[in-house]
């Protein structure tokens, strides 16, 4: 199973990668919104029959180039069935009325590792 992670904090990105690879996931990590979209489009172009390119995309909210909401909107425009998880320290600042936020799970930083793993397991099993 393949997971795309977009996180601009190198230490948190490293934790994601180690944790997810330990659980058997193939992880593609990116450091900003633009890199994330490029990686997503590259993998999408490799898929056939309209399959989703990743079992899950994990997005930070505040990132250089494009924020997590902007990235989520573009990903959902390309592939509406894509599972998304937003992880943010700014949950209170998110516009929860935003249509795109209703289509994804949100976890607040600092996150509990067990909660993160449980949420990821739930999302990839759909």
Residue 3 — pLDDT band, cuts 50, 70, 90? very high
Non-local (6+) Cβ contacts of 70 within 8 A are 33
In 3D space, the residue among 11, 14, 8 whose CA is nearest the CA of residue 31 turns out to be 8
Contact 3, 23 (CB under 8 A): no
What strands lie across the sheet with 26-30, from one edge to the other?
Answer: 26-30, 2-6, 56-60, 84-88, 105-108
Q: pLDDT (tens digit, 9 = 90+) per residue, 60-84?
A: 988 888 999 899 999 999 999 999 9
Pick the residue with more confidence: 78 or 98? 78
Assign domain 2-124 to a CATH class: alpha beta
Give this prediction's pTM.
0.87
Q: What is the mean pLDDT of residues 22-45?
A: 96
pLDDT of 75 reads: 95
Instruction: Tell me whether strands 105-108 and 84-88 are parallel, antiparallel or unpaired.
Output: parallel
């Amino acid at each position: 199973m393949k997971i795309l992670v977009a996180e601009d904090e190198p230490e948190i990105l490293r934790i994601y990668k180690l944790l997810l690879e330990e659980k058997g996931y193939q992880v593609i990590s990116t450091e900003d919104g633009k890199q994330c979209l490029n990686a997503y489009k590259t993998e999408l172009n490799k898929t056939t029959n309209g399959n989703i390119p990743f079992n899950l995309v994990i997005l930070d909210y505040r990132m250089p180039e494009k924020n997590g909401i902007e990235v989520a909107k573009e990903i959902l425009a390309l592939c509406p069935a894509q599972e998304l998880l937003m992880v943010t320290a700014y949950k209170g600042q998110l516009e929860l009325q935003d249509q795109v936020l209703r289509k994804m799970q949100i976890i607040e930083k600092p996150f509990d590792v067990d909660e993160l793993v449980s949420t990821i397991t739930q999302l990839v099993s759909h």
